[in-house]
Amino acid sequence: MQSIAVFFDRDGTLIEEVNYLDSLAKVKILPGVVDGIRQLNEKLIKVIVISNQSGVARGYFSEDFVRETHKFIAAELAKQGAIIDAFYFCPHHPSAGQGEFRRNCDCRKPATGMVTKAIREWNIDVTRSFVVGDSASDMQVARAVGAQEILVSTGHGKNFQDMGFYTVAGVAEAVAFVVSEGEKT
Ligand SMILES: [Mg+2]
Ligand SMILES: [Zn+2]
């Protein structure tokens, strides 16, 4: 049987936006995230993080640092009973930095590569799934793959309020919407 997923952006959505997070000390999990993820876990809805991390291409931090950050976030949440099923990130940028990560790729949002990979790996029914993020690029991913978009007002979310995206205050409200939609079907 196929699963429903919520694809969460990371920076500005699950944790505070600090612009190119380069230290675990800067990780601040946003209000509503622990409880929201716990609710999704209880409903057996997959919780999948999809994150652009062009700081790798720009030379600000390594891919290993991004993986370490994801382990840290997962552990902090797990201590409180909230489980993230998977993390996907894009280390690339089409024009910034140099080396192997400076290239056009199919994973940097608004491209859909991270979601399409997760759909395959987790057998997700994308038409019943959701993308929650604080940027227009997250909402573009949602529309491109046929998932429901939910813009949060945390992080950069305030900059995209008038663009016609379905908008809520934060992750708590996003999860309430996901759960209410699930109860209709
Ligand atoms: Mg973001
Ligand atoms: Zn990429």
Query: Ligand 2 centroid vs 113 CA: distance in angstroms?
Result: 8
Query: Which among 171, 168, 126, 169 is positioned nearest to 145, based on CA atoms?
Result: 126
Residues within 5 Å of ion ligand 1 by Cβ? 9, 11-12, 134, 155
Please report which ligand is nearest the Cα atom of 157.
1
Q: Tell me the one-letter amino acid at 121.
A: E
Per the structure, the complete domain to which residue 149 belongs is given by: 5-184
Query: Ligand 1 centroid vs 149 CA: distance in angstroms?
Result: 14
CATH of the domain at 106: 3.40.50.1000
- Per-residue pLDDT of 143-171, as tens digits, reads 999 999 999 999 999 999 999 999 999 99
Query: Ligand 1 centroid vs 6 CA: distance in angstroms?
Result: 15
- 9 belongs to the catalytic site: yes
- Per-residue pLDDT of 82-132, as tens digits, reads 999 999 999 999 999 889 999 999 999 999 999 999 999 999 999 999 999
| Residue 165 main-chain phi, psi, to 5 deg | -80, 150
Question: How many domains are there within the chain?
Answer: 1
